[in-house]
Structure 1
Amino acid sequence: MALIPGQITINSTDPAALAGWWAERLGGGVADTFGPDFLFVHGGTLGAVSLAFQRVEELAVGQRIHLDFSAPDLEAEVAALEAAGATVVGRRGDEHFAWVTFADPQGNEFCVAAQAEAEAAYETEG
């Protein structure tokens, strides 16, 4: 199995302002598919990469940016990542879109969602 890159996610206390700032720098547009607390910047010079900006109450030291991936079989990937030394930090989301947050062996966080859910979410972003 292989993880599929999704986007680079940036924690922010004001995701709208930061997403707008980056959209202007990159010539892209802002999409609010999931509401004002999780925004995407697409297009412009980003190419196939997306930036995501998620609201946090407080900016923690060291975990301000993380990678998001998807996998064809989320639960199989969870098991494979744990067997390879990753630690599950938590699970979030709802019945429409859910993901698992991990820490790699050195404590860097990253997220993995089910590929079908991630693709459906990207399609609704326009």
Structure 2
Amino acid sequence: MDSLEITINAVDGERAAGFWCEALGYRLRYRRDRYLVLEPVTGTGPQVVVQTVDAAPAGGAGTHLDLRVDRREETVARLVARGARVQREVTEAGRTWTVMVDPEGNEFCVCPARTG
């Protein structure tokens, strides 16, 4: 796996990003459309992505992992063989990722590795 991101869904993305920057000692790395990408000010840690959504998710499933990988299709096939299920594929701004659920029904995404 190339890297791991923690994605937090928020109706007020700016407010949520500010909260998580303060709570984690992170700073805003960059923003793109509805995504605010946070990184540690010092040291290491996973990147946190605050994703602005139209409505709060039912059942409180507002956080999930994004697996950033070089070979998305191969990773999806490997995880399906281990019991995960593909929910859907998403293409946005020229990027495609796969939304999956683990054997317990927890949602996560398999995304292409970030470049640059």
Is the TM value for this pair above 0.5? yes
Q: What does residue 111 of structure 2 align with? A: 113
2:66 to 65, 68, 80: 68
In the TM superposition, residue 95 of structure 1 has moved relative to its aligned partner by: 6.0
Q: How large is the RMSD of aligned CA atoms in angstroms?
A: 2.0
Aligned to 2:83: 85
Unpaired stretches in structure 2, ≥5 consecutive residues: none
Q: Which amino acid aligns with 1:47?
A: T
After the TM superposition, list the runs of 4 or more consecutive aligned residues in structure 1 that deviate by more than 4 angstroms: none
Corresponding position of 2:11: 13
* Mapped contact 1:7–1:51 kept (Cα < 8 A): yes
Name the SS of the counterpart of 1:106 in structure 2.
coil
Higher helix share: 1
Secondary structure at the residue paired with 2:32?
Answer: coil
Matched-pair contact (CA < 8 Å) for 1:12–1:55: yes
Aligned to 1:55: 52
Contact 1:69-1:113 within 8 A present in 2 as well: yes
What is the deviation of 1:42?
Answer: 0.8
Contact 1:26/1:46 (CA < 8 Å) preserved in 2?
A: no
Which has the larger share of strand? 2
- The total of aligned residue pairs comes to 115
User: SS state of the match for residue 36, structure 2?
Assistant: strand
What TM-score do you get using the length of structure 2 for normalisation? 0.84
Q: Give the match for residue 38 of structure 2.
A: 41
Contact 2:30 2:38 in 1 (8 A): no
Counterpart Cα distance in 2 of 1:90 and 1:20: 30
Over residues 31-76 of structure 1, what are the superposed CA-to-partner deviations in whole Å (9 max), with x where a residue is unaligned? 34422x1111112256231111111222221411111112221111
**2:97 alignment counterpart:** 99
> Which range moved further: 90-99 or 54-63?
90-99
